[in-house]
């Protein structure tokens, strides 16, 4: 009987802890939703999207430049090898 009471107390504590975590998650979700709405209303979201797009463009440009640089280096190496022969 005592074990059953201890188990019941443990389960109650466990359920209470899980419930607190879910309540915190719900509050966090509500805060995020209000933040998103505030961003939409102030136009900040568009600014963030524009900055992200510019960053993506810069990264893609760097990737392209890197590929061009690699191609040029490969051509130079090939040319040097042909000269040595």
pLDDT tens, position by position, 60-78: 888 887 777 777 777 778 8
CA atoms of 54 and 11, how far apart (whole Å) = 52
Instruction: Say if residues 36 and 45 touch (Cβ distance below 8 Å).
Output: yes
Segment 26-38 shows an average pLDDT of 88
CA atoms of 81 and 12, how far apart (whole Å) = 77
CA atoms of 44 and 35, how far apart (whole Å) = 10
26: pLDDT confidence band, cut at 50, 70 and 90? very high
At 75 the pLDDT is 79
- Tell me which of 78 and 29 has the higher pLDDT: 29
Look up residue 66 and give its two tokens: 């890197």
Nearby residues of 44 by Cβ (< 8 Å), 6 or more positions away: 38
Q: What percent of the chain has pLDDT over 90?
A: 6
């Amino acid at each position: 009987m005592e074990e059953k009471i201890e188990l019941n107390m443990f389960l109650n504590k466990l359920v209470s802890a899980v419930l607190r975590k879910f309540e915190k998650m719900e509050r966090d979700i509500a805060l995020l939703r209000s933040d998103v709405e505030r961003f939409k209303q102030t136009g900040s979201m568009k600014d963030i999207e524009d900055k992200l797009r510019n960053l993506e463009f810069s990264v893609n440009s760097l990737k392209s430049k890197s590929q061009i640089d690699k191609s040029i280096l490969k051509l130079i190496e090939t040319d040097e090898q042909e000269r040595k022969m």
